[in-house]
Structure formats: C-alpha cells, structure tokens
Chain A
C-alpha cells in the first residue's frame, strides 16, 4: 500500500473530505485555502481562495456541486466546485469549527466556537442546490449550547436529528426541525472533548473520536454505544470504512504535550480496528506529526489522512486488505452465498 503524498498545504491539516463518488478529495488546513485533488493519482484539481483565517472544516454536497467551508475568520463560505466561485458568505461573531451538509444537500449546519462572551451555536441554513441561485441569509435554526460547547455536529438519516459532540465528552441528540434537545448522554470520560464525528453511509450510526484515547460507535436513533475502540493515544479523528467492517482512528501526542517527540512515542499512526470485534488489526505509519483528520473513500477503495505535518497521505487499499477476513466472517459469507 504505497501512499500518494499530497504536499499542497503549508500548515497543519484540519479536515479532509471525499466526495460521494470518491474521485475527489477536499482538504483544508490552517493555511487559509481549500485544495481539491483527484483521489486516484493525487493531482491537484484546484484551490479555493477567499478565507482570511485558518480553515477548520470543509464539506461537499452529495452531487459535488458545492462545497462549504468554515474558518477562524468567523465565516462559513459556500463555493462552486467547478468554478471556485465564492457563492455565499455567512458571517458570525466567532470562528466556525464544523460544517456539514445533510444527506440530500438541502441543509447546511455550522458549529460556532464559544468565545468572547458568545456561546457555542449550531446554526442551520436551507441550501438551494442550484449554484446559480441566490442563497438565503436567514437561519433556518439556531441551537444554543449553554451546557457544554459543541465541538462537532451532523445531520442524521432523513434529516431527522442533529447529533452534536461536546467538549465535556457527551453527545446530544436534537430534533433537526425544532432544535429541541431530545437527549444528552455522557459517553466519553468527563471533560475529555469529542473532536470528531463521522457517519456511516446511511447515517444511522456514527463514530466519535475523543481525547480520552477512545473512539465509540453510537446509534443515531437512541445514542446507545454500540462499540468502543480503545487506543493508547489521544484521538483527533475517526472514520468508518465502507465495504469492509473496519474503522480508522487517527491521533497522536500533540507536539506541545511531549518534550522530546520522536515518531516512536508520538504514535503518529493510523490505526485500523475491526468495527464489530473491536480488535486492532493494523497500523499505517508515515506522518511525522499527529494525525488531525482521517477520511474514508465512500466507494471503499482508499482512505486519506491529514497530519499536523502539513501532508495529506492517500492510501489505495491493496488486495490483501480486501481479502482479509476473520474466520467467522468468511463462514457467514459462505453461508449467505
């Protein structure tokens, strides 16, 4: 599995997203521009300029028509993928830490930072899927997180719930129409922030990555913890692989937390766990800083990781990856066929 090294950013990566077809990768970093890449060969398709602060987050709509990005310049921007035109800019009093489209691309949510007397908000906008159309200024919904600030959030299946991960290690389930809090469950260690939340393909369950050195698989319907993946280092990101029942966790000791950081103790590796059995099955080395983000190709062919070192590494899985099966899995497949 030889990785493709995407050396387009000058500073630490913050988020990577594949489009639905798995042919494009969008990456954002603290260096103020968004990069789009061909996933199969790592060629750069283009960049999106306009933000004037570190970009924390990016997401692409299901038809790869528009991307949204959130930045420390206190804006969410909507871009036309093809022309790189900035379609819309929404301004906020504080930085935007997370954006995400709903599964049908008609809604966009953003999570704003708690700072300077402003509480953390989850805001929702209705999106007109036509890039030529005027986008609304009106917020469809605002959820104020007064208990513990929201760090990550996303839309569940059928746009029914908004699920948010909090700084105190809990997850919340909100009604996506009314913004009403339905449930809040502490699933991670108290006051260890949840730093990533990614969905499976049909958005019925999600994985959280937490600084408490564990990742958890949680059902969107009732927030039951289905699986737990313990790691030996604080995590920054976690993703669920389609096609194979794995999850990929990324993290590592932050450079500021260690006095003498070598690749060895930093644990700058992507870790693969079996989604169902919770066993660690492998690690991929390469980064020389902590992994800030991992993303899985929705078609299941590859995955990409972005590190504090400023590189994106795209790994296309080889035959061994697809052939690997536990005995009981093979048994099940044989029985089904």
Chain B
C-alpha cells in the first residue's frame, strides 16, 4: 500500500527508499574520479641529505637553497625538513617550487647531483612518490630484476664487405608502396638485397654512417639493419614527421607537428613529462628518450609576409656528438650537453637578434689553441645603429673567437667547408636605396692564426647557390642577374668556380676567380664526396634538366691564364635527365644517381645512374618512383700512410679490377646468349606443337590445310567469270641519280 499523508512515517519523507551512505560507490569512484592535482605538482622530495641536528638545520637549508635556486625559485620557508625522534633530521626534505615546470626541471637537473663528497641528491616529484611508492604499489620482498640472456647482435656493418668482392655500394629505392635495398651493378640490373611492401609510411632515411635504415610510421620511427634486416630499435614518437641523427649515430631527434599526448594508461616509452612536447631526443643504442622539447613560439610574421618556415634540423649536433644546440630566433642559442641533456652551464647563450647558427662539421684544431673545443658560427642582422655581425664561438668556453662587422646586409648564409678549415659567409647586400643587390663572400680561415677573413671580390649578381668542395679549398657558386621571384621562366644563371692561388709553402693562397659559365639554367651544385668532380645541375625545372659533369684537376693541358691557380677546369660531359628532381653521389664518388620523384611531379618518374665522368650507365623509368638514397659509408679505417700507399699502387689495382670486370662482362654476355637461345628454342617448340595440333585437327574436321587459300581461289574464279579486268596504273618516281654542281664564280 502506498503511504498516504496521514500514514506518513519519518522514513517515508525521503524521496527515495535508500540511504545514500549505504551505497558502495567505491568502484565507480575509482573509475571516474578526476585526478585532482592537489597542487602537489610544485613539490619535490629530496633524499640523500646528511643527518643534521636542529641547530645545523638552517645552515643545511641555506646551502641547499643555493643548489635548488639554480633551476627555479624557492624560499627557506618553503623547505620542510622533518625531524626524527632522536632530534636529528631524517635525511630528506620537502621543497615547494613556484611552478610545476620548475619542479620538473629540478627532478631532471638536480637528481644525482652531488651535494658534497659523501652525499648525492636524489630528487623526485612528490606526485611520483605518491604514484609509485604508495602502499601496495611496492612489493615488500626484493625481486631481482629480470636480465635477459645475452644475445649476440648481428653484424651491423656487414655490407661494407660486399660478398661479390667488388666493393659495391648499396642504395634504397622507394617506389609505390615498396621499399627495396639493392647492390649497384652499374650497367646491369641492380641486385636485390631485401624488398618489403609497406616498409615505411612516409619516407626512408639512412643513418649518417649507413648502419641503420629508418622507416617512419604513425606510431614512431623504426631502425633496421644487419644482414637479416631485422628491427634494431624502435622509437615510439606518435605521428612523427621528421627524423635527424647525430653525426656519429649515437642520438636521434624526432619531431612531430602534433604535440605529444600521453594517454591515461601511459605510453611505452615516453612519460607524462613529455606531454605537449614536439621534439624528442633519443639515445639510439638503448632506445630511451633523453629529453623532450616543445616547439618554440615563432615570432609573429610581419604584416604581409609569409610566416617563417620551420627550421629543420632545429637541433644541430656538434661534430663529436657532445653537444646539441637549438636556436631561439632573435634571442639566443641553447647548447645542451650529452648524454645528460643539461643546458651547458645552465644558461642559454644570449645573442640579440641571432638569425642562424651552425656547428663546425669537424672538430677543429685551431692554431695555438690546446684545449678541447667545438666551434659555432652565428650571425645577427643590423639592429638600430649596430652593424650586422658574424661571430665564431668556442664551446664550451662560450668565448667569441672571431667576429666580423658588416653593413647593409639583407641576408647572410653560413657555409662550412667539410673539414671546418674554412667558413664562407655569403652576404647579400643592398645599396642604400635598397634597390640593387650584390653579394660578397667572406671567408674565415679557421685553422690559421687569428682566423683571418678574406673577402672575395664583390659579385654584382645575386648568388643563389654556394658549395665548397668537400675536403678541398675550392668552391662553386651560381648567380643570377634578376631577382629570384615567381616568374614564369626562371632567369638565366651563371656558374662560377673559385680556387686558391698557388703558393710556395703549405698555406692556402688567396681565393681567385677561376671561370664563369654564362647563360645557364643550372641551379644546383653537387660535389663528389671526395672533391675534384662536380655536377652542376638544373633541377625542379620544367624547361630544362641539364647535368654538367666537371673535373677540376683535369690532367690535360692547362690554359696559360690559370697557371697560378690550383685547378684545371674541364667540362667532361653533359647529360639530360628530363624532369630530374634530385641528384646524389654515391659515398665512394664513383657514381651519380639522378631521379625524378613522384613527390614533386608525375612526369617520367624513375632514376638514372651515371659514372663520375657523366657517362649514362642505367636509365630506369619506374612508375610512382618516390625516393632513391645511397647507403652512406662510415669513415675509412685506413691511416693516411696506407691510403697514400694505395694511391701509389693504383695502377696495379686497376689492372686487376679491369681484368675482373672484363671477365664478368664476358660471362654475363654468355649467360644472356644462353638464355636467349633457350627462349628461342622454347618458343619454336611450342609453335611446332601448336601447328601440328592445328593441322591434325583441321584434317580431322575435313578442312583444308590453309583456311584462306580455297576461299581466295573461289573468289578469284568468280572475278574471272565476271571478267572485269581492271588496270591499276601506278606511276613511281625514282631518283636515279642526283648531282650537285658547285659553280665557282
């Protein structure tokens, strides 16, 4: 019976018949409770402190503060150090920072930092201790960590010992959805090494020494290597866009334009600290992330100008992998030390207006400098009345080694020579009216005492490309008269070569202009990895696609005008690869690959291989051809003397190799002929059997041997009956003889 008003009891006054307190919602609470931050994010717990008495405490706190304030700001009263019953401290303390970011920085930078000789700080976030150290989360009994059996890794550099004994190079081809690695067989069909469909989602990339092949997926990056092409490492950076290796393959930077978002259940490699970051720096051998960074807020572009492009690589490595640096445009350069990834001397290098910087690509031994150093060069534009500046800085001392003031600068580009012996700063200058453009090349002789700077004569035109000869002192530039802009037909360009003058001693002479080739369309310079040879190409051009192969040490006659110069330029060959988009020398400098990638256009995709003289060896049109990349080689292990020895005996070696090549060619030809003979026999056997079968069946069906003869005969008869004779007249003109008389007046 439903209760009426009269019968109402106290209990019935509740709208519901149950008591909320009695319901067990702990399971729901556990599932849905919002993780309140409790504001504990700003707290860290410091372990490993010395035990102190109440009297000594302030002293310790003061001492500690000095350390703690290097990464953030905290105060004496924000440090709580609990005391034990014996009146001594418990060797730990709670510290509150002013922000969670500072607390995070403290755990990263102060953990494992020695306080004094006996004590080492252990810094953890309070929330982490809550999360990992809460009761029940830790097994009370010690479980020894499981150590995997040692497994022998594959030999990662096996390919250097070409099984055919010919020292061939490998390359990777990415076409359609297939990625394949091949041995370069010069003129012949490349020999397949491995081929996998859908090996990568966007592109492939070799590591700088060729050890690993990188594949890029939505889940992250994978490295492959060894003879079985097994997976060597995996770096789970979701939606990764770009990958860059450190020069000696120890570290890697991955970048994604989407900030990392760590899901509730965690991430296999990254932690909650990496949430919202775009860059991750990894150690390759262990596969662990070292540190992550967010994108820098790019400065607002000026009105009417396109937003500045993302700089890649954003993180630049020093030649020996010891440092990595990132530019904060217009403000500073941050240099981090590896492997701890701490900011060098805990401060960024403030350089007002800095536009660009670059590490010396090799460790330089400067004249009269004994200490270890890596060099950074950078430039700043004119700010107010201050001139533009190019600076050369020594790391880790952060001392400016050399600086150069420049005026009326509209842009500058920094070009290091491969051994870091020279640095060329290509300076685009404008006249006072800002109308006409000119370019100067300021060359820093890094290895010479005091780093002298030489200015190569002013070039009236705009220089659109510059390239040093690797391991040499010569360079090529491409200049154009008209401003580079969106014109229908690209303006004509001029290619110029420069080289040092001859000198008596070992020093390098002044840089002199060697030759200029006018009215070209070329826009790209590709030096052979060992110098001497260079390909000047026209890429990404709809109208022309020339490839000019030059030798700078031509062994023929040298023109009189060049007798004081250290080069003898000779155009060896020209080639034309329609629609070429990319050019790459093989690591040995024997071959040049050129390709037209479907990423750029869809016309005549495929690749060509030339030898260093520009002789076409192979042309392979491939549909949906995307990428070609030679496998790099590590630096040689031979000493200078051994290399010299080899160079001396080159004739001996080449005789052996020529013989081998000839033998192989002959046997290959033989095999081809044999295969053809086989095909031909097979074909005629099939035809004979087919013809025999047909003849037999026709006979069985009572049909004449040839299906047409009797038909035609019958037709002819009907025509004869009709007796319609018709004359088809044809006039054929034949030139019997043609003479040409030349009348000499």
CB–CB A158/B680 < 8 A:
no
B708 engages A20 (CB within 8 Å): yes
In this complex, what residue of B is CB-closest to A331? B677
Would A276 and B730 count as touching, CB distance under 8 A? no
Q: Is the CB–CB distance between B711 and A105 below 8 Å?
A: yes
A65 at the interface (CB under 8 A from B): yes
Q: Mark A176-207, 1 if CB is under 8 A from B, else 0.
A: 00000000000000000000000000101100
CB of B690 within 8 Å of the partner chain: yes
B604 to chain A: which residues have CB within 8 Å? 232, 265
A252–chain B nearest beta-carbon distance, Å:
13
Residues from chain B with a CB closer than 8 A to the CB of A331 are 677
Q: How long is the Cα–Cα vector from A103 to B708 in the complex, in angstroms?
A: 8
Shortest distance in angstroms between A145's beta carbon and chain B's nearest beta carbon?
A: 28
Structural contact, B673 and A62, CB atoms closer than 8 A: no
A202 touching B691 in the complex, CB below 8 Å, given contacts A62-B712, A328-B673: yes
Fill in one digit per residue for A57-70: 1 if any B CB lies within 8 Å of its CB, else 0.
00000111100000
Within 8 A of A (CB), among B161-193: none
Known contacts A202-B691, A204-B690; is-contact A326 B712 (Cβ 8 Å): no
B578 within 8 A of A: yes
- Find B694's partner among A62, A104, A157, A213 (CB 8 Å cutoff): A157
Counting contact residues on chain A (CB < 8 A from B), the size range is 35 or more
CA of A226 to CA of B697 in the docked complex: distance in angstroms?
22
Q: Mark B694-733, 1 if CB is under 8 A from A, else 0.
A: 1001100101000110011011000000000000001000
A328:B680 contact, CB within 8 angstroms: yes
Given contacts A158-B698, A204-B690, contact A276 B680 (CB under 8 A): yes
Q: A13 CA to B714 CA in the complex, in Å?
A: 33
* Residue among A65, A157, A329 facing the most chain B CB atoms (10 A cut-off): A157
Which of A40, A104, A275, A328: most chain B Cβ within 10 A? Answer: A328
Report chain A residues within 8 Å CB of B677: 328, 331
Q: Mark B178-212, 1 if CB is under 8 A from A, else 0.
A: 00000000000000000000000000000000000
- B contact residues around A232 at 8 Å (CB): 604, 621, 623
Determine if B578 and A276 form an interchain contact, defined as CB atoms under 8 angstroms apart: no
B78 at the interface (CB under 8 A from A): no
Q: Tell me whether B683 is interfacial, beta carbon within 8 Å.
A: yes
Question: Are A327 and B712 neighbours in the complex by a CB distance under 8 Å?
Answer: no
Would you call B730 and A221 a contact (CB within 8 A)?
A: no
Separation in Å of the B336 CB from the closest CB of chain A? 48
Chain B interface main SS type: helix
Residues of chain B within 8 A (CB-CB) of A275 are: 683
Q: Is B603 an interface residue (CB 8 A)?
A: yes
Chain A residue nearest to B715 in the complex (CB): A63
Does B679 reach chain A (CB closer than 8 Å)?
A: yes
Is B231 in contact with chain A by the CB < 8 A criterion?
A: no
For A157, the chain B residues whose CB sits under 8 A away are 694
Chain B residues with CB under 8 Å of A65's CB are: 715
B676 CB–A CB distance under 8 Å: yes
Say if the beta carbon of B686 comes within 8 Å of chain A: yes
- Report which residue of B676, B694, B701, B712 has the largest number of chain A beta carbons within 10 angstroms of its beta carbon: B676
Which residues in B have their C-beta under 8 angstroms from that of A317?
A: none
Residues of A within 8 A of B686 (CB): 219, 226
A103 to B705, CA, bound (A): 13
A319 close to chain B: CB less than 8 A: no
- Binary flags per residue of B671-683, CB closer than 8 Å to A gives 1, else 0: 0010011011001
- Is A277 an interface residue, CB under 8 A from the partner? yes
Q: Please, what's the 1-or-0 string for A207-233, where 1 marks a CB less than 8 Å from any CB in chain B?
A: 000000100000101000010000010
Q: Which of B673, B691, B701, B708 contacts A158 (CB 8 A)?
A: B701
Q: How far is the CA of A328 from the CA of B623 in the complex (A)?
A: 32
Which residue of chain A has the shortest Cβ distance to B731 in the bound complex?
A41
- In contact, B679 and A277 (Cβ under 8 angstroms): yes
Would you call A115 an interface residue if the criterion is a C-beta within 8 Å of the partner chain's C-beta atoms? no
Question: Cβ of A264 < 8 Å from any Cβ of B?
Answer: yes
Closest residue to B698 on the A side, CB-wise? A158
B712 lies within 8 A of A277 (CB)? no
Most buried by A among B542, B707, B714: B707
Q: What residues of chain B lie closer than 8 Å to A327, measured between beta carbons?
A: 673
| A62 engages B676 (CB within 8 Å) | no
Pick from A63, A213, A226: contact of B712, CB under 8 Å: A63
Given the known inter-chain contacts A158-B698, A204-B694, please indicate yes or no for A326 contacting B676, CB distance below 8 A. Answer: yes
Q: What residues of chain A lie closer than 8 Å to B730, measured between beta carbons?
A: 40-41
A332 at the interface (CB under 8 A from B): yes
Q: Among residues 284 to 337 in chain A, which have CB atoms less than 8 Å away from a CB atom of chain B?
A: 326-329, 331-332
Contact partner, A62, options B680, B691, B707, Cβ 8 Å:
B707
Asked whether B679 lies within 8 Å of A276 as measured between CB atoms, the reply is: yes
- B694 CB contacts on chain A under 8 angstroms: 157-158, 202, 204
Known: A157-B694, A264-B578, A327-B673. A332 touches B711 (CB 8 A): no
CB distance from A147 to the nearest CB of B (A): 27
* A202 (CB) vs chain B CBs: closest residue: B694
Closest to B701 in A: A158
Can you sample 8 A-B contacts with CB below 8 Å? A63-B711, A158-B701, A204-B691, A204-B694, A219-B686, A232-B623, A258-B603, A277-B680
Give the 10 A-B CB pairs with smallest separation, nearest first.
Answer: A63-B715, A276-B683, A232-B621, A328-B676, A328-B677, A103-B707, A204-B690, A265-B603, A62-B708, A63-B711
Using CB atoms and an 8 Å cutoff, list the residues of chain A in contact with chain B.
20, 40-41, 62-65, 103-105, 129, 157-158, 202, 204-205, 213, 219, 221, 226, 232, 245, 258, 260, 264-265, 275-277, 326-329, 331-332
Q: A64-B715, A104-B707, A276-B679 are in contact. List 6 more A-B contacts (CB 8 A).
A: A62-B708, A63-B714, A219-B690, A221-B690, A326-B676, A331-B677
